[in-house]
């Protein structure tokens, strides 16, 4: 598709767009350290029939929030944001953690917000994003993939539809993005101990799969949400809002994610352990919840 152009703000190497630049030099633009201009420039191109893709770090997209809202979303333009370094990014430290993108993007009208469970789903989401006739985003963590097999044929993912990975159980783990793999690992450990667990790969923060989430939650006695992002206003908050709006109650709910602190520097796995965004962290929360189903409480 010759309408596809790539834009970045001095992050070509970090986002991998340097490879696109080599292959399609006339369709690549590096605007320098000017994130606001990158977004407005993309909106201008989209208004003239192009399909701009912005490769940007989560933390630096914050600088262009006004342009995302006014120049892209209000006009409902097909700008696709590929948000790199979503979540905890390790050695780059506090300023580079991508903690807030889920929270500040999900309340913008017209915006689609996706997060893949692995690199295979990521390629399908990128394909999907390029078919959406409006603003869309996909966020993914820093680092290598999980080593899963990549499909050769790319298939659009149904917009706003999650994926039920494991059904039934007293506990429902509703996970997003990098939280899905540890959720599955925790579920397998719990099942080996005789604790039935349902696992949902949410895939979308917006549109939100209220039908799937409410169905799974209503069959459980406890719900755990898992995300590699800020808890305040993030994916877990979206789940709470959904359950409240659909009168799903009488269950215990625990959210796992980045707490209300500025996380420091360190190896990515260690930082995830500090926040509980690991299989062990999810397992411990589930074990704490399991013997207390009779005491209904919503907590964070």
Q: Where are the domains of the chain?
A: 4-141, 163-291
- At residue 293, does pLDDT exceed 70? no
Contact 7, 55 (CB under 8 A): yes
One CATH from 3.40.50.970, 3.20.20.370, 3.40.50.2300, 3.40.47.10 for 4-141: 3.40.50.970
Contact 30, 38 (CB under 8 A): no
**Do 4-141 and 163-291 have matching folds?**
yes
Strand order in the sheet with 4-8: 28-30, 4-8, 51-57, 80-84, 136-139, 112-114, 204-206
- At residue 58, does pLDDT exceed 90? yes
The structural architecture, per CATH, of the domain 163-291 is 3-Layer(aba) Sandwich (3.40)
Give the pLDDT band (50/70/90) at residue 297: very low
- At residue 183, does pLDDT exceed 80? yes
Q: What pLDDT is stored for residue 291 in this prediction? A: 67
Residue with tokens 């399609």: 24
pTM, to two decimals: 0.94
Q: Residue 182: which residues within 8 A CB-CB, separation 6 or more?
A: 175, 226, 277, 278, 279, 281, 282
Contact 54, 79 (CB under 8 A): yes
Q: What pLDDT is stored for residue 143 in this prediction? A: 87
| Rounded Cα distance, 272 and 214, in Å | 28
Q: What pLDDT is stored for residue 144 in this prediction? A: 86
SS3 state at 19 = helix
- The reply to whether omega before 260 is within 30° of 0 (cis) is no
133's tokens? 């006739």
Give the pLDDT band (50/70/90) at residue 295: very low
């Amino acid at each position: 598709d010759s309408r596809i152009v790539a834009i970045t703000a001095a992050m070509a190497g970090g986002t991998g767009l340097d490879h696109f630049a080599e292959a399609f030099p006339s369709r690549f633009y590096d605007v320098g350290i000017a994130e606001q201009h990158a977004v407005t420039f993309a909106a201008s191109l989209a208004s003239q029939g192009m399909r701009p893709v912005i490769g940007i770090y989560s933390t630096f997209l914050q600088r262009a929030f006004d342009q995302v809202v006014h120049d892209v979303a209000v006009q409902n333009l097909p700008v696709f944001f590929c948000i790199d370094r979503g979540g905890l990014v390790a050695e780059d430290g506090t300023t580079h953690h991508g903690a807030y993108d889920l929270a500040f993007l999900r309340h913008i009208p017209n915006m689609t917000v996706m997060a893949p469970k692995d690199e295979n789903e990521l390629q399908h989401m990128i394909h999907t994003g390029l078919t959406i006739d409006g603003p869309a985003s996909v966020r993914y963590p820093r680092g290598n993939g999980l080593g899963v097999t990549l499909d050769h044929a790319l298939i659009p993912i149904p917009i706003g539809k999650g994926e039920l990975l494991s059904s039934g159980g007293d506990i429902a783990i509703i996970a997003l993005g990098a939280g899905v793999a540890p959720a599955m690992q925790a579920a397998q450990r719990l099942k080996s101990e005789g604790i039935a667990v349902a696992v949902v790969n949410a895939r979308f923060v917006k549109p939100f799969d209220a039908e799937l989430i409410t169905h799974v939650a209503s069959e459980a006695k406890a719900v755990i949400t898992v995300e590699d992002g800020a808890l305040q206003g993030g994916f877990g908050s979206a789940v709470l809002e959904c359950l409240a709006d659909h009168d799903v109650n009488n269950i215990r709910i625990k959210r796992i994610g980045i707490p209300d602190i500025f996380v420091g520097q360190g190896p990515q796995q260690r930082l995830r352990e500090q926040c509980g965004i690991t299989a062990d962290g999810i397992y411990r929360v589930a074990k704490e919840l399991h013997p207390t189903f009779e005491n209904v409480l919503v907590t964070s």
